Amino acid sequence: MAKSSSQLVYLCNACGADFPKWYGQCPACHEWGTLSEFTVSGRKSKSSGNRKTATAPAARLSDHRAPRRYPTRIGEVDRVLGGGLLSGALVLIGGNPGIGKSTLAIQILHACGVPALYISAEESPDQVAMRAKRLKITAESLWLSGEAEIDAIEDAIRKEKPELVVIDSIQTVYNPDLDSLPGSVGQIRDCAQRLLQLAKSISVTILIIGHVTKEGVIAGPRMLEHMVDTVLYLEGDERHNYRILRAVKNRFGATHEVGVFQMDATGLTEVTNPSELFLQERLASVPGSAIYPSLEGTRPILVEVQALVTVARFGTPQRNVNGLDYRRLAMLLAVLEKRMNLTMGNRDVFVNLVGGLRVDDPAIDLAVLAAVASSARDIALPERLIFIGEVGLAGEVRSVSQLDKRLREALSLGFESAIIPFRSQLKANLKGLKLIPVRSVRDVMNTLFPG
């Protein structure tokens, strides 16, 4: 290959934009230090945009047929997708290695029951078949392929004409005409672009699996998010068998809905009542435990916030947090220290959300504060009490959204009282639940630890 036919471009690892020169800060997404050099081969390939695509004539809006939506028939997946998969949609399933993405994908193919093609560029078809056997999947309409080259994949899809395709994973699919390795930003972008065109042109639904590594070492999925229609993340605490499927982007439905599953040897099983699951191992009357009614999408889920506060023995006190924002915890500890004279500077603080759920809603503040204060004072909180409210820097308790829904869930699970923001407007009939409105953190502490 003549050197002169190659072209140097600089690709952003974060957003995937390319530039003819290097910048310290990406001009497109403003991230620093994300541009890396990338050689685009000048060799003509049928893939690099030279393929003649027929231009579709403009059509009347009223003549346009809506794409077909078909349910996956896995209730938790349909909830997250907003009713099922759409023909012609490109869906990204992201998650840490080993979390269960391949398992979920093959279960979806099986449950949908439409002609489907599973392209495993990562594992051999034998391995995929073994997994399918373990999951008791014997679908007649399911085809396997071990192809990893994007041209061959495209040809296979055009030839087999499946309605649903899984690409496992985008990091292992490659275009040999590019000079970079599979998994590089350039390869991922090129292959994803090809899959996008294919999905739209022949109305096939394509599920792309993408690995996320800690700190986004692989640029793939983050950049892919901009290209696809729907982004699902499969999350969970690897030490537990709960898995949470979350839509972070959905062009055809609501986001922030979650699906909850349990993972075992027979695959992912739906959990229709997650609150019970998350609370089942809770020990009563142990200091440092508070219950928070979270709202994931439209769904209330009760979770346990655990805190452990101990005297720091070495140097800088530790702040260790799981499932919550670290800075938010730091702020809450500062509020406790300043407004309640509870010294935190010489204590190690560990906070954990049980079950691997992650909550970014500040409505959890009060539960975190209560758990921390309970552990610091070594006094258990009432077992059938829940906490909800956002805490401000002045120690004020601020109102939260959809309180009715959250309280109703707590009531249905046998909770007896709730500490809620003073300025809450409730419409629901919550007979049987004692409401304790509070204006400030001080009110909460006086209620919990009188005297």
Ligand X SMILES: Nc1ncnc2c1ncn2[C@@H]1O[C@H](COP(=O)(O)OP(=O)(O)O)[C@@H](O)[C@H]1O
Binding-site partner at residue 100 among Mg ion, ligand X, none, CB < 5 to 8 Å by type: ligand X
Nearer Cβ to ligand X, position 80 or 419? Answer: 80
Tokens 């630890």: give the residue.
449
Nearer Cβ to Mg ion, position 104 or 195? Answer: 104
Residues 95 and 212: beta-carbon distance below 8 Å: yes
Site residues for Mg ion, 4-43, by CB under 5 A, read none
Site residues for ligand X, 238-277, by CB under 6 A, read 265
Measuring CA to CA, how many Å separate 325 from each of 219, 341, 386, 428? 23, 23, 21, 31
User: Using the rule CB under 6 A, which residue among 13, 92, 101, 353 binds ligand X?
Assistant: 101
Binding-site partner at residue 99 among ligand X, Mg ion, none, CB < 5 to 8 Å by type: ligand X
DSSP bridge pairs for 117: 143, 165
If one asks whether residue 103 binds ligand X (CB under 6 A), the answer comes out as: yes
Min CB(114)–Mg ion separation in Å: 22
If one asks whether residue 395 binds ligand X (CB under 6 A), the answer comes out as: no
Nearest to 294 by CA among 436, 448, 380, 401: 401
Nearer Cβ to Mg ion, position 131 or 282? Answer: 131
Site residues for Mg ion, 73-102, by CB under 5 A, read 102
Residue nearest to Mg ion (CB): 102
Min CB(220)–ligand X separation in Å: 14
| One-letter amino acid for residue 280 of the chain | Q
DSSP bridge pairs for 119: 145, 167
3-state SS assignment for residue 291: strand
User: Using the rule CB under 6 A, which residue among 102, 107, 187, 205 binds ligand X?
Assistant: 102
If one asks whether residue 49 binds ligand X (CB under 6 A), the answer comes out as: no
| One-letter amino acid for residue 394 of the chain | A
DSSP bridge pairs for 19: 10
Nearer Cβ to ligand X, position 72 or 103? Answer: 103
Q: Could you tell me how many residues of this chain bind ligand X (CB under 6 A)?
A: 10
Buried b (16+ CB within 10 A) or exposed e, 122-155: bbebeebbebbeebebebeebbbbebbbbeebbe
Nearer Cβ to ligand X, position 206 or 441? Answer: 206
Which of the stretches 77-85, 97-105, 355-363, 374-382 binds ligand X when contact is defined by CB under 6 A?
A: 97-105
Min CB(267)–ligand X separation in Å: 8
Tokens 């840490």: give the residue.
96
Measuring CA to CA, how many Å separate 419 from each of 190, 207, 335, 365, 448? 52, 43, 18, 12, 10
User: Using the rule CB under 6 A, which residue among 15, 77, 99, 444 binds ligand X?
Assistant: 99
Residues 397 and 430: beta-carbon distance below 8 Å: no
Nearer Cβ to Mg ion, position 123 or 383? Answer: 123
Q: Which residues bind ligand X (CB under 6 A)?
A: 95, 97-103, 134, 265
Q: Which residues bind Mg ion (CB under 5 A)?
A: 102
